[in-house]
Structure 1
Amino acid sequence: MRLASISVDLDSLPHYCRIHGLPESLLDARARALVHAVAVPRFMALLAAVGVPGTFFAIGEDLEADANAAAGMRAAHAAGIEVASHSHAHDYALTRRGPAAILDDLQRADAAILAATGVRPEGFRAPGYTLNADLYAATEALGYRYGSSAFPATPYYAAKAAVMGALALAGRPSRSVLDTPRVLLAPRVPYRPDPARPYQRGSGSVVELPMAVTPGLRFPFIGTFATTLPLGTLRAAWRMCRGDAFFNFELHGVDVLDGSDGIPGELVRQQRDLRVSAAKKLERLREIFGWLRAECDVVTLRDASGRLSATL
């Protein structure tokens, strides 16, 4: 049976303000904690209801700053959900910081996750999906089993470039970073990277598990699109990926939130998927999770990497 994994990046709302060039002062204390306080329990309940495991990518500084967030990750780990690293500070420019700073960031994230769950993370996803040789070297040095940062999605890359350009012209530049176009040529299936050029195949020790994109156009199958596009479009994309041995479905905490949860209107206007009700999003995700469960063996990314690594 094919393998599939469901992962959730727990980016808190300040990171969305940074993406959209909005001041973080828009957010009160409740809004800053919303992803861990509201989205995490919703995802845990959804995964349990469908009967599948998942992987949460946690940001180290969020766990250090919020005892409730750390307790949530402890509960997730106890429920069988893998807690992996999404870096310490979620610095979109992490790949530009140099080897020492990169290694320090990942070590701090590891320490925060270990303190919260009692287990050191075995997987890593880069902020903004941006990977380079220095960052890959740090994942090897820390002995991660896998990375899941490559996102070779042509439509996503083009849309991101357009939005960043529009924000710059509007005088509120995004703090996000546009990756090298070489990512668009990265394999769309699991592979061992070349440590010097991690978007190419090689013999690196840390297996890369790219996020799901379709063959050909490389249309992204991620939470933002899964909760907003017509169901027929998603079914077509899902059918196109049926020849793949592994399907990596990536989501974010905001994929189960909406404006009524206490998100400032300025951010809702910029992050259009927040205009879709959380109830409708959860209904859609329950259906897609059901597709995965019916046709695949749904496992954590850690377990997927273990089962796939010998074949790469």
Structure 2
Amino acid sequence: MTRIASISVDLDSLPHYCRIHGLPESLLDARARSLVHQVAVPRFRELWDALGVPGTFFAIGEDLESDPVAAAGMRAAHEAGIEVASHSHAHDYALTRRAPDAILADLRRADDVILQATGTRPVGFRAPGYTLNADLYAATQTLGYQYGSSAFPAAPYYAAKAAVMGALALVGRPSRSVLDTPRVLLAPRVPYRPDPANPYRRGTGSVLELPMAVTPALRFPFIGTFATTLPLRSLRGAWRACRRDAFFNFELHGVDVLDATDGIPGELVRQQRDLRVGAGRKLERLREIFGWLRSECDVVTLRDAAGRLSASV
């Protein structure tokens, strides 16, 4: 059986990083607020075009509403064969703590905005901050999504996030991010159908879950932040550890191809360490990793991966 791989990019704009790090959004001028769509999206498209592989963008509805450049970019991406999926409307890190009707309204509004921008309603969803619960999963079922890609059962990531949030609270600059339930660490690391009452457990839910890549045993995360900053030897080891998996879900963010010279305020660069790595170096690293995927896997959008995997999961 041919292995399948997907490359997806969460288009979190810089205001969301200010919220993560407890920084005022007033640090950002208009250009900085739009950097992900104005600069990162074209860079990812150039990478994919050069290697001849498709990709999936997870767009935030309110960004497409407020920024004509963002909406036009997603329309052009869709027309070029790139999947545009939903990353919610407001990218509210506390979305799972909202009432069920508020959750459903947020997702429905994101769907409407993406439909208006691209002409196609999204069939995939990724939760803000990777945080999933029964009410959010129920909303994805109500809206008829084909797949979700929110489960991130990565122990090192979970521990690091808890440490950072704790440190920010101690210095009086609390993060607006949310720490997920520890149950996520026991979630399957391969595609599965969730239990609607506990989406981090196998069940019979209608929306297929495509977890992001983590290695067996240690569950080390193979995502853009680490792929662009860790030694290449470590990444090769993680890639080899995942070779038995039928599906490899490589998740990145727009900032994974940006650096300080793109016009990001120094206060944010100091907090977001990967922004200190040059964009050219990051792009070269990603070009190599995408090449690994292309040489050993059939690289498809997450929509197409879900279609292929649905009957067998």
Question: Is the structural similarity TM-score above 0.5?
Answer: yes
Measure, in 2, the Cα distance between the counterparts of 1:222 and 1:50.
Answer: 19
Match of 2:217 in 1: 216
Measure, in 2, the Cα distance between the counterparts of 1:49 and 1:302.
Answer: 21
Match of 1:101 in 2: 102
Match of 2:187 in 1: 186
Task: Give the secondary-structure state (helix, strand or coil) at the position aligned to 1:140.
Answer: helix
Match of 1:130 in 2: 131
Match of 1:150 in 2: 151
Task: Give the secondary-structure state (helix, strand or coil) at the position aligned to 1:310.
Answer: helix
Q: What CA deviation, in whole Å up to 9, does each residue of 1:44-101 have, x standing for no partner?
A: 0100001100000000000000111000000100111000000000000000001000
Measure, in 2, the Cα distance between the counterparts of 1:253 and 1:81.
Answer: 15
Match of 2:33 in 1: 32
1:237 aligns with 2:242: no
Measure, in 1, the Cα distance between the counterparts of 2:190 and 2:36.
Answer: 29
Measure, in 2, the Cα distance between the counterparts of 1:226 and 1:81.
Answer: 22
Match of 1:140 in 2: 141
Amino acid at match of 1:303: D
What is the CA distance between 1:235 and its match in structure 2?
Answer: 0.2
Match of 2:253 in 1: 252
Task: Give the secondary-structure state (helix, strand or coil) at the position aligned to 1:214.
Answer: coil
Task: Give the secondary-structure state (helix, strand or coil) at the position aligned to 2:312.
Answer: coil
What is the CA distance between 1:134 and its match in structure 2?
Answer: 0.2
1:278 aligns with 2:294: no
Match of 2:302 in 1: 301
Amino acid at match of 2:232: L
Match of 1:267 in 2: 268
- How much is the aligned-residue C-alpha RMSD, in angstroms? 0.3
Measure, in 2, the Cα distance between the counterparts of 1:228 and 1:39.
Answer: 17
The equivalences for 1:198-209 within 5 A come to 198-209=199-210
Match of 1:311 in 2: 312
What is the CA distance between 1:34 and its match in structure 2?
Answer: 0.4
What is the CA distance between 1:212 and its match in structure 2?
Answer: 0.0
In structure 2, stretches of 5+ residues that fail to align are none
Measure, in 2, the Cα distance between the counterparts of 1:105 and 1:80.
Answer: 26
Measure, in 1, the Cα distance between the counterparts of 2:284 and 2:52.
Answer: 15
What is the CA distance between 1:17 and its match in structure 2?
Answer: 0.1
* TM-score computed with the length of structure 1 as normaliser: 1.00
Measure, in 1, the Cα distance between the counterparts of 2:101 and 2:23.
Answer: 30
The equivalences for 1:40-79 within 5 A come to 40-79=41-80
Tell me how many residue pairs correspond in the alignment: 312
Task: Give the secondary-structure state (helix, strand or coil) at the position aligned to 2:179.
Answer: coil
Amino acid at match of 1:164: M
What is the CA distance between 1:111 and its match in structure 2?
Answer: 0.5
